[in-house]
Structure 1
Amino acid sequence: MRKTTYLLPILVVVVATALSSIFVVDEREKALVLQFGQIKAVKEEPGLAFKIPLIQEVVRYDDRILSLDTDTIEVTPSDDRRLVVDAFARYRIADVVQFRQAVGVGGLRAAEDRLSSILNAQIREVLGADQVTSDTILSQDRRVLMNRIRDQAQISARGLGLDVVDVRLKQTNLPAQNLDATFARMRAEREREAADEIARGNEAAQRVRALADRTVVETLSDSEREAQITRGEADAERNAILAEAFGANPEFFTFYRSMQAYENALQGSNSSMVLTPDSQFFDYLRSDRPTRDQN
Structure 2
Amino acid sequence: MTRAPILIAILLALVFVAMNAFFTVDERERAMVLQFGQVKAVKNEPGLAFKVPFIQNVVFYDARIQGLDTDKLEVTPLDDRRLIVDAFARWRIADVQQFRRAVGAGGMTAATQRLQAILTANVREALGAVRSEAVLSADRVGLMNRIRDEARQEAKALGIDVIDVRLKRADLPEENLQATFERMKAERVREATDERARGQEAAQRTRAQADRTALEIISEADRDANIVRGEADAERNRILAGAYSADQEFFAFMRSMDAYRKALTAKNTTIVLGPDGDFFNYLNSPRSARAGSGEPPAPPAIEGEVAPDEPAPADAAPAEPAPADAAN
- C-alpha displacement of 1:123: 1.5
- Answering whether residue 161 of structure 2 is matched by residue 164 of structure 1, we say yes
Partner of 1:49: 50
Q: Which amino acid aligns with 1:265?
A: A
Does the aligned pair in 2 maintain the 1:85–1:169 contact within 8 Å?
Answer: no
Does the aligned pair in 2 maintain the 1:67–1:88 contact within 8 Å?
Answer: yes
Q: How does 1:9-24 map to 2 (within 5 A)?
A: 9-24=9-24
Q: Which amino acid aligns with 1:9?
A: A
Deviations 1:217-243 (A, max 9, x none): 333333333333322322222222222
Specify which structure has the higher proportion of helix. 1
- C-alpha displacement of 1:260: 1.0
Partner of 1:78: 78
Do the aligned partners of residues 80 and 164 (structure 1) sit closer, same or farther apart at CA in structure 2, a change above 3 Å counting?
farther
**How far apart in 2 are the matches of 1:204 and 1:173?**
41
Partner of 2:226: 228
Does the aligned pair in 2 maintain the 1:153–1:164 contact within 8 Å?
Answer: no
Unaligned runs of 5+ in 2: 291-305, 311-328
Do the aligned partners of residues 110 and 229 (structure 1) sit closer, same or farther apart at CA in structure 2, a change above 3 Å counting?
same
Secondary structure in structure 1 of the residue aligned to 2:59? strand
Q: Which amino acid aligns with 1:11?
A: L
Q: How does 1:115-134 map to 2 (within 5 A)?
A: 115-129=115-129, 132-134=130-132
Do the aligned partners of residues 114 and 238 (structure 1) sit closer, same or farther apart at CA in structure 2, a change above 3 Å counting?
same
- Answering whether residue 295 of structure 2 is matched by residue 280 of structure 1, we say no
**How far apart in 2 are the matches of 1:231 and 1:94?**
103
Further displaced range: 95-104 or 77-86: 95-104
Do the aligned partners of residues 10 and 124 (structure 1) sit closer, same or farther apart at CA in structure 2, a change above 3 Å counting?
same
Amino-acid identity (%) = 53
Do the aligned partners of residues 84 and 169 (structure 1) sit closer, same or farther apart at CA in structure 2, a change above 3 Å counting?
farther
Q: Which amino acid aligns with 1:3?
A: R
Does the aligned pair in 2 maintain the 1:33–1:51 contact within 8 Å?
Answer: no
Q: Which amino acid aligns with 2:53?
A: I
Does the aligned pair in 1 maintain the 2:126–2:147 contact within 8 Å?
Answer: yes
**How far apart in 2 are the matches of 1:141 and 1:292?**
114
**How far apart in 1 are the matches of 2:140 and 2:194?**
34
Further displaced range: 194-203 or 252-261: 194-203
TM-score, normalised with respect to structure 1: 0.82
**How far apart in 2 are the matches of 1:200 and 1:142?**
34
Q: Superposition RMSD on alpha carbons, in Å?
A: 2.9
Further displaced range: 204-213 or 141-150: 141-150
Further displaced range: 60-69 or 148-157: 148-157
Do the aligned partners of residues 196 and 152 (structure 1) sit closer, same or farther apart at CA in structure 2, a change above 3 Å counting?
closer
Secondary structure in structure 2 of the residue aligned to 1:258? helix
**How far apart in 2 are the matches of 1:81 and 1:137?**
11
Deviations 1:173-213 (A, max 9, x none): 22252444434333333332222222222222222223333
- C-alpha displacement of 1:244: 1.5
Deviations 1:59-79 (A, max 9, x none): 211234433232332211222
Does the aligned pair in 2 maintain the 1:34–1:56 contact within 8 Å?
Answer: yes
The match for 1:185 among 155, 179, 183 is 183
Partner of 2:209: 211
Structure of greater Rg? 2
Q: How does 1:82-93 map to 2 (within 5 A)?
A: 82-93=82-93
Does the aligned pair in 2 maintain the 1:89–1:165 contact within 8 Å?
Answer: yes
Q: How many residues align?
A: 290
Secondary structure in structure 2 of the residue aligned to 1:284? coil
Does the aligned pair in 2 maintain the 1:127–1:137 contact within 8 Å?
Answer: yes
- C-alpha displacement of 1:101: 4.8
Does the aligned pair in 1 maintain the 2:28–2:62 contact within 8 Å?
Answer: yes
Does the aligned pair in 1 maintain the 2:136–2:170 contact within 8 Å?
Answer: no
Does the aligned pair in 2 maintain the 1:25–1:43 contact within 8 Å?
Answer: no
Do the aligned partners of residues 29 and 246 (structure 1) sit closer, same or farther apart at CA in structure 2, a change above 3 Å counting?
same
Secondary structure in structure 2 of the residue aligned to 1:61? strand
Does the aligned pair in 2 maintain the 1:83–1:172 contact within 8 Å?
Answer: no
**How far apart in 2 are the matches of 1:198 and 1:151?**
47
**How far apart in 2 are the matches of 1:245 and 1:153?**
113
Further displaced range: 71-80 or 166-175: 166-175
Partner of 1:249: 247
